[in-house]
Amino acid sequence: MSDLTKEAEAASQVRAAAHALLAAGNALGPALTPAAGKEQVARIAHSWWRLVHRQADAALRLQGLGFTAWEVAPLLRNVFVHSRALPWLIGGGAEAMEALARAGDAQQEIDTVHLSNHDAPVAEELRRRIAAHRAENPEPVFDAETEKRITTLTDEAKNVFTLLTSYGLASEYMEYRHLSGLSHTSTSTAGLYLALHPETGEVVLRKTAVDADGTGFTVDVVMGLLRADAAFSPLLEGDPLREVGDQVLADLGWEGLELVPARVEKPAPKNSPAKSKKKPPARKPRRSK
């Protein structure tokens, strides 16, 4: 069997795995039944799981229309980061949701400062809306231990590298950076439709992006789906996605792959508050739209 034949068979197998995972997710329908005692966390995690499935489906459909991995990188980036972050959201539960709210508040404060330097009226309107929302939504107060956990989660919510390292996934950060480079203004996107002529060495313009490894593209989608399903399915009655996930792992020879890594408990730095005798005072979180 030639290498090209082997590659074609591998690509077909990976595509079949992706479609099997998507079909299993679609078969659940909109009315999901959480497992007993997991109703709240299932509701919290559902949107990220559904986002991974929907955007993975969109990426594969676009690939079928001739778009390359480079051109659907924003979708692949979302699949990557949300599938890796689902265990963080599930493990943190309501505290993780509070952390996301705080991270959003912090970004709004930054946005307001930026706007005030260039468009004061818009900045004032944003401040007014934020203040009105906070006035209508009383801020919950947390005890010191809960506050400490939420502060840690907030730091992780603000920084993908910090979040990944919290689950032993630092080695995957460069893939995220690569996808981010293709999702923003960067040298990667500036040269996306340029190529060197093989004979003259001159730069030529292209109508489509230079093709990427289609199999690698689909492997990324499959990995995102497997991770998202492995984290979310146990929250549902009967763990309905486990069987298809196990079958895909067996078909691809990936048995034993750790899809939902445990949280890594990192020792606190010597000069960190955790090592200090003085405990930081509890503070109230801010809420905003």
* 265 within domain boundaries: no
pLDDT score at 115: 84
* 158 within domain boundaries: yes
Instruction: State the total domains in the chain.
Output: 1
pLDDT score at 278: 45
* 115 within domain boundaries: yes
Residue 26 zone, left/alpha/beta (φ > 0; ψ -120 to 50; rest) = alpha
Under DSSP, the state recorded for 170 is: G
Pair 242, 231: CB distance under 8 Å: no
How far is Cα 134 from Cα 115, in angstroms, rounded to an integer?
20
pLDDT score at 173: 97
pLDDT score at 275: 43
pLDDT score at 286: 46
* 10 within domain boundaries: no
Q: Give ∠ CA 96-155-72 in degrees, rounded to 5.
A: 80
Residue-level pLDDT, tens digit, the chain, 289 residues: 445 456 678 888 999 999 999 999 999 988 889 999 999 999 999 999 999 999 999 999 998 898 888 899 999 999 999 999 999 999 999 999 999 999 998 998 888 888 888 877 888 888 888 888 888 887 788 999 999 999 999 999 999 999 999 999 999 999 999 999 989 999 988 998 999 998 999 999 998 887 655 678 899 999 999 999 999 999 999 999 999 999 999 999 999 999 999 999 775 555 544 444 444 444 444 444 4
* 90 within domain boundaries: yes
Question: Can you give the residue range of the structural domain that contains 211?
Answer: 33-252
pLDDT score at 11: 83
* 5 within domain boundaries: no
pLDDT score at 247: 97
Q: Which amino acid is at 241?
A: L
* 140 within domain boundaries: yes
* 20 within domain boundaries: no
